[in-house]
């Protein structure tokens, strides 16, 4: 049974899982505020409200009040989208049936916001709890931290042309959630009766959800298996993850699987012209002269590049950290990647994904698709550290393909899982995995 922390007593209060899936509990802190203002310019080109930083003010000297939130107003000026980003924004506009100017208004600022979030997390790594973007109506963004809001956090948020609200008092940091999800996932998989397992943190209900696939058909046997898995996962998390509630459910049969595929260029089975995967990103070794490509780890490690036997398997990340392998090449490797059939561009940097970002994938089966980031911490089968998207926009043959935005590399396509009764694409981020293989993205110079 689901439980919820009572903010007054600190105890756990039962709450139905159905109700929790459709309702989000919001806790509001009340404080007197003081506002400082300066001039600002609206990102769309018109006038904007004056710059505003809202902080909580103590009611009196004897009763200090923790700051609940601050809001940093839009920057006076912001960097314009690059040519590569404009190309993606045009594609997004066509996909969503909106104008290019509307696509820029909604999504053109996400790179600047990502840089601001990076700065906050770098300064407060143990307290960073997540971020989100509101891209419709009036665009805005939020950064969440645990504990009180640091006095210098507003100074870290620069160059963002939309209002950014920083909230404190989050229950768990992103690092704590990541550790708890992985711990619960592997504890569930250790149960002898389980088959395929998918695990994620359900933010709307504040708990870890373990989904079982291909299990017993008997309702009695299912009930017993679910109880056993829940006990194991919850016991493991209470020791290592700090007390997360765990819920176990069954997904559709065969609902968690890898797509034997890759991105960028066509990767073929040995001695054939048959598509196997998509190549991901160009890489170079950090401790040798080798250069090559990365793709999904679940793809065969003897693949050929478009029918040419020029690749050699070298390394992979631990499965707890994602679904990526590295291959060296006997042919020269360009600092470029395909983002469409017959279309390629240079890659200049590696980005860190954030919730609600709109990123694009290219795979040799489904082509170019773009979607919103839904969850930064999910697991499927052997693999953890997978980013989950809103929709399922991929198929067999796309595995290993690049996820990016503009000329920034974000990840490598992995497969799909079922979450909240929908199938959703998953991929491995690059920012925290490449070092395991002792490689880096082979980037171009601007």
Mark out the alpha helices in 130-280 (DSSP H runs): 153-156, 174-189, 219-240
> What is the predicted pLDDT for the residue at 66?
52
Rounded CA-CA distance 129/42 in Å is 28
Domains of the chain, residue spans: 39-167, 174-195+205-250, 257-441
DSSP letter for each residue of 268-297 = E-TTS--EEEE---EEEESSSS-EEEEE-T
Higher pLDDT, 373 or 35: 373
Rounded CA-CA distance 319/244 in Å is 23
The alpha carbon of 298 is separated from its chain's Cα centroid by a whole number of angstroms, namely 20
| Helix axes of 219-240 and 174-189: crossing angle, nearest 10 degrees | 140
> What is the predicted pLDDT for the residue at 256?
54
Q: What is the mean pLDDT of the chain?
A: 81
Using DSSP's 3-state secondary structure scheme, residue 93 falls into: helix
Structure tokens, 401: 């393909």
Structure tokens, 30: 């009340």
Q: What secondary structure letter does DSSP report for 45?
A: S
Give the chain's count of helices (H) and strands (E): 7, 29
Q: Dihedral through CA 359, CA 85, CA 343, CA 339, nearest 10?
A: -10
Q: How far is CA 355 from CA 97, 214, 390, in A?
A: 23, 30, 10
Beta bridge partners of 282: 293
- Mode of pairing for the β-strands spanning 51-57 and 69-72: unpaired
Q: How far apart are the first and last CA of the chain?
A: 54
Rounded CA-CA distance 399/323 in Å is 10
| Kind plus residue range of the DSSP H or E element containing 84 | helix 83-96
Q: Which residues have CB under 8 Å from 353's CB, separation 6+?
A: 359, 373, 376, 387, 410, 411, 429, 431
Please check the confidence at residue 325 and state whether its pLDDT lies above 80: yes
Question: Which tens digits make up the pLDDT trace of 52-79?
Answer: 333 333 333 333 345 689 999 999 888 8
Please count the other Cβ atoms lying within 10 Å of the Cβ belonging to residue 149.
Answer: 22
> What is the predicted pLDDT for the residue at 72?
96
Using DSSP's 3-state secondary structure scheme, residue 436 falls into: helix
The total number of residues shown for the chain amounts to 446
Structure tokens, 94: 């066509």
Q: What secondary structure letter does DSSP report for 435?
A: G
Q: How many CA atoms lie within 13 A of 109 on its CB side?
A: 31
> What is the predicted pLDDT for the residue at 324?
98
Question: Which tens digits make up the pLDDT trace of 199-230?
Answer: 998 876 788 888 887 655 444 455 666 678 87
Tell me if 347 sits within 8 A of 335, measured CB to CB.
Answer: yes
> What is the predicted pLDDT for the residue at 58?
33
> What is the predicted pLDDT for the residue at 223?
61
Please check the confidence at residue 83 and state whether its pLDDT lies above 60: yes
> What is the predicted pLDDT for the residue at 289?
81
Rounded CA-CA distance 317/325 in Å is 7
Residue with tokens 């609200």: 165
> What is the predicted pLDDT for the residue at 424?
96
> What is the predicted pLDDT for the residue at 215?
55
What is the pLDDT averaged over residues 431-444? 94
Beta bridge partners of 164: 72, 141
> What is the predicted pLDDT for the residue at 353?
97
| Helix axes of 100-107 and 83-96: crossing angle, nearest 10 degrees | 110
Please count the other Cβ atoms lying within 10 Å of the Cβ belonging to residue 167.
Answer: 18
> What are the start-end ranges of the E strands in 16-126?
32-38, 51-57, 69-72
Rounded CA-CA distance 166/143 in Å is 5
Please give the CATH topology (third level) of the domain spanning 257-441. Thrombin, subunit H (2.40.10)
> What is the predicted pLDDT for the residue at 130?
92
> What is the predicted pLDDT for the residue at 233?
79
Q: Above pLDDT 70, what percent of the chain?
A: 78
């Amino acid at each position: 049974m689901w439980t919820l922390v009572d903010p007054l007593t600190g105890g756990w209060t039962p709450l139905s899982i159905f109700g929790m899936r459709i309702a989000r509990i919001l806790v509001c802190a009340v404080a007197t505020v003081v506002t400082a203002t300066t001039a600002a310019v609206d990102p769309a080109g018109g006038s904007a409200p004056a710059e505003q930083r809202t902080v909580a003010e103590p009611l009196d000297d004897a009763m200090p009040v923790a700051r609940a939130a601050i809001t940093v107003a839009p920057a006076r000026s912001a960097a314009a989208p690059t040519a590569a980003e404009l190309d993606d924004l045009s594609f997004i506009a066509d996909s969503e049936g909106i104008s290019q100017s509307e696509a820029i208004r909604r999504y053109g600022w996400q790179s600047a916001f990502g840089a601001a979030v990076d700065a906050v997390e770098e300064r407060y790594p143990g307290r960073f709890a997540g971020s989100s973007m509101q891209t419709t109506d009036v665009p805005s963004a939020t950064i969440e931290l645990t504990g009180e809001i640091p006095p210098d956090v507003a100074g870290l948020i620069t160059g963002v042309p939309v209002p950014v609200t920083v909230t404190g008092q989050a229950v768990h940091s992103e690092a704590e959630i990541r550790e708890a999800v992985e711990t619960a996932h592997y504890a569930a998989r250790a149960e002898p009766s389980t088959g395929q397992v998918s695990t994620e943190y359900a933010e709307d209900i504040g708990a870890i959800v373990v989904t079982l696939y291909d299990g017993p058909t008997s309702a009695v046997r299912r009930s017993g298996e679910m109880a056993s898995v829940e006990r194991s996962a919850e016991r493991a998390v209470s020791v290592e993850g700090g007390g997360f509630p765990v819920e176990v459910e069954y997904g559709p049969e065969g609902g968690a699987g890898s797509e034997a595929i890759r991105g960028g260029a066509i990767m073929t089975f040995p001695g054939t012209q048959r598509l196997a995967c998509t190549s991901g990103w160009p890489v170079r070794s950090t401790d040798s002269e080798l250069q090559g490509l990365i793709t999904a780890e679940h793809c065969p490690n003897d693949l050929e590049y478009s029918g040419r036997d020029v690749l050699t398997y070298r390394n992979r990340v631990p499965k707890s950290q994602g679904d990526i392998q590295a291959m060296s090449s006997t042919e020269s490797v360009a600092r470029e990647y395909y983002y469409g059939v017959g279309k390629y561009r240079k890659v200049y940097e590696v980005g860190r994904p954030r919730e609600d970002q709109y990123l694009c994938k290219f795979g040799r089966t489904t082509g170019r698709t773009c979607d919103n980031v839904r969850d930064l911490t999910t697991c499927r089968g052997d693999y953890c550290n997978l980013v989950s998207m809103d929709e399922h926009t991929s198929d067999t043959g796309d595995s290993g393909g690049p996820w990016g935005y503009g000329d920034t590399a974000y990840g490598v396509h992995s497969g799909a899982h079922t979450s909240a009764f929908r199938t959703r694409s998953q991929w491995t981020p690059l920012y925290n995995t490449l070092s395991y293989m002792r490689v880096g993205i082979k980037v171009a110079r601007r």
